[in-house]
Structure 1
């Protein structure tokens, strides 16, 4: 596989090499791929955790344990108002 970098990408790699943190361009690229992989893994984990939370919330609503949105927003706004008054 052959990859062509644009001038900004080449400059970025050169800057990283000049910083002394990396010994060669391949090390910079490997680090970038490692970080991209971690970012992707973190995102997939977030998606799974969010799905579980949504499923839990749906089950709670099905059991009649939920609150309507308007009530929840009013409660939150009241808490903000009280917190603001306490700091004044």
Structure 2
């Protein structure tokens, strides 16, 4: 298989080999493809989890409206009760 690379990519491959991290251009390409495959699998796993989370949300039932003022009121009551318990 022959692969055409841009001059920038060719230089990147040369630098990797020159650095001593890789013994050949082929080794650099193998590692790049391995990392790309790993990244694709991670992306697919995250997407699968997102789909699962969305479905769980849809399956959880009808949503209810929430009132931020009511939540703040409940929070104040809980803080006051906690302060009373500590005194």
TM-score, length basis structure 2: 0.70
Structure 2 Cα separation of the partners of residues 36 and 52 of structure 1: 24
Over alpha carbons, which structure has the higher Rg? 2
Query: Which stretches of structure 1, 4 residues or longer, exceed 6 Å deviation after superposition?
Result: none
Question: Does the C-alpha gap of structure 1 residues 70 and 15 become closer, same or farther in structure 2, counting only changes over 3 Å?
Answer: farther
Stretches of structure 1 that go unaligned for 5 or more consecutive residues are: 76-88
Stretches of structure 2 that go unaligned for 5 or more consecutive residues are: 73-87
1:40 is the counterpart of 2:48: no
Structure 2 Cα separation of the partners of residues 69 and 2 of structure 1: 61
Aligned partner of 1:13 in structure 2 is 13
TM-score, length basis structure 1: 0.69
Count of equivalent residues: 70
Q: Give me the CA root mean square deviation.
A: 2.2
